[in-house]
Amino acid sequence: MNEAKGRKLWPARLLTSILGAIMLALSACAGTGAICEGSGGTYVGGTCTRSSPGQEAAQKWCETHGGAYLTGQNVCAFGEGQ
């Protein structure tokens, strides 16, 4: 490619790069909401919250007693995979 032609193409390459970055950012936001809702929470205003206060209390209890709370199954797992 000659140098003059390369200079003419840089705005198109820049625009393509910017649009690609915007699309990645938007897809990441959409993915975050889907992950949140898939695990039983609600995604509003960029924040994922549990679906109920009871679920939050169960998770806190589980974690303070050395377990790992599995939201989708509503189970407190102890010593799994060791």
What does the alpha-carbon distance between residue 24 and residue 10 come to, in Å, rounded to a whole number?
Answer: 21
**What's the pLDDT at 61?**
93
**3-state SS assignment for residue 15:** helix
SS3 82: coil
Strands 47-50 and 68-70: unpaired
User: How many C-beta neighbours within 10 Å does residue 10 have?
Assistant: 9
Does the structure show a pLDDT above 70 at 24?
no
- Does this model's pTM top 0.85? My answer is no
The whole-number pLDDT of residue 42 equals 78
Domain chopping of the chain, boundaries:
1-49, 52-82
Q: Is the dihedral of CA 11, 13, 19, 25 positive or negative?
A: negative
pLDDT mean over 41-48: 80
